[in-house]
């Protein structure tokens, strides 16, 4: 699914070209719809809801059994151990499937993913993308990846080893802040362009462009 129009892609590519004009560093931009499917999180919520429902039934069975008897026959009866076990299992299955199905509504799904989990998985995916697209692919190991994950509303900046040795991770904070200030208002391309500009300034300070410098990584926006 396209997440940016052609004008936005051009803006980002031009920002990379301009930023790299003053540095031997290479900037790669990746725009992702999401960094993970979070199926395991949805399963945990469904399993937790099922376990809670079965536990409540085990602790307070009478209201459930009375309601069932009233709905089915209007008559009470003595429940056997087998019937009780079947009721517990059925209740758990219904609860599991119900919670699983309602999480197919995407706004609720993303709401139920804990923030630290989103942060960790966006970071992990950014590192994976960096390993594939930038790490060790430049002569001086001077690649930087700017990664933006839309569904999680998070971004990461990952730098190659030569850059990481000179530029502490916290230095990228200003670039991240400037970028997200635009993205929070829906200006994704503009935000990326601003972040690229700031990263370019940092790279130019530590890795100025040489006379024989060549463009080793693509300037275009990569959408995944």
Q: Give mean pLDDT, residues 190-219.
A: 85
Whole-angstrom distance, CA of residue 200 vs CA of residue 11: 15
pLDDT > 90 in the chain, percent: 46
CB atoms within 10 A of CB 152: 22
Q: Enumerate domains of the chain plus CATH numbers.
A: 6-37+114-223 (3.10.310.50), 39-111 (no CATH)
Q: How far apart are alpha carbons 198 and 109 in whole angstroms?
A: 34
pTM of the model: 0.81
> Rounded to whole angstroms, how far apart are CA atoms 130 and 29?
10
The count of C-alpha atoms lying within 13 angstroms of the C-alpha of 11, restricted to the half-sphere facing its C-beta, is 14
- Alpha-carbon Rg for the chain, nearest whole angstrom, is 26
Query: What does the pLDDT look like over 53-98, one tens digit per residue?
Result: 888 887 887 777 777 666 665 565 676 777 778 878 888 999 999 9
């Amino acid at each position: 699914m396209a997440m940016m129009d052609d004008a936005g892609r051009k803006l980002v590519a031009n920002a990379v070209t301009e930023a790299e004009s003053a540095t031997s560093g290479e900037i790669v931009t990746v725009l992702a719809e999401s960094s993970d499917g979070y199926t395991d999180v949805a399963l945990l919520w469904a399993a937790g809801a099922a376990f809670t429902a079965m536990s409540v039934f085990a602790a307070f069975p009478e209201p459930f059994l009375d309601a069932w008897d009233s709905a089915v026959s209007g008559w009470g009866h003595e429940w056997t151990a087998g019937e009780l076990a079947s009721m517990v299992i059925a209740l758990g299955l219904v609860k599991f499937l119900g919670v699983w199905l309602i999480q197919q509504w995407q706004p609720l799904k993303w709401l139920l993913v804990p923030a630290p989990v989103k942060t960790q998985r966006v970071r992990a995916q950014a590192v994976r993308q960096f390993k594939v697209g930038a790490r060790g692919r430049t002569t001086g190991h001077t690649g930087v990846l700017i990664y933006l994950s839309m569904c999680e509303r998070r971004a990461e900046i990952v730098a190659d080893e030569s850059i990481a040795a000179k530029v502490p991770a916290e230095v990228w904070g200003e670039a991240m802040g400037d970028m997200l200030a635009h993205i929070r208002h829906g200006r994704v391309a503009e935000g990326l362009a601003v972040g690229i500009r700031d990263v370019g300034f940092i790279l130019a300070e530590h890795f100025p462009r040489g006379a024989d410098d060549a463009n080793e990584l693509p300037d275009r926006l990569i959408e995944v």
